[in-house]
Amino acid sequence: MALARVIEHSNKPALKDLEMAVDETNYVKGTMGVDGHKKTFGGFMGTTVYGGAGLALVVIFPTLVFGVSMGWTSALLITVILGVILGLALKLKGGWYAGVIVSAVLVAMASPLIAMIHG
């Protein structure tokens, strides 16, 4: 049984015996459009930039509140300012600034409720 496997493997051609394609006449240049690829890559990069910047703000705010023992209001103000600076640095569109403002308003409305619940 083991001898049969050895003989089977010895009948396979060695890598050096295989002939590579040397003539380029069979090559056909791709005809597929790249517009779909460009849109997909652009969407991926946009999602990455906006998501990364948003994640940075989500991490910065609680770090200022709990890690640095800063008040909710001042931490929120600093986070909004950093959000605007990030938007300018990354050349983000107007939706980014609207999202930062809406998020800040929602957090400002929720913070007294959280403070009442927490005690």
When pLDDT is cut at 50, 70 and 90, the band that residue 9 belongs to is low
DSSP single-letter state for residue 1: -
Residue type, 73: T
Count of Cβ atoms closer than 10 Å to residue 10 Cβ: 8
Pairwise CA distance, residues 30 & 116, whole Å: 64
Contact 92, 50 (CB under 8 A): yes
| Mean pLDDT, range 39-52, rounded to an integer | 94
Listed in order, strand segments (DSSP E) in 7-87 are: none
* Report field, pTM of the whole predicted structure over 0.75: no
When pLDDT is cut at 50, 70 and 90, the band that residue 19 belongs to is low
Q: Cα angle at 46 between 39 and 87, to 5 degrees?
A: 145
What are the tokens at 45?
A: 């990069």
Helix, strand, or coil (residue 19): coil
**pLDDT reading at 20 higher than 70:** no
Domain positions in the chain: 51-119
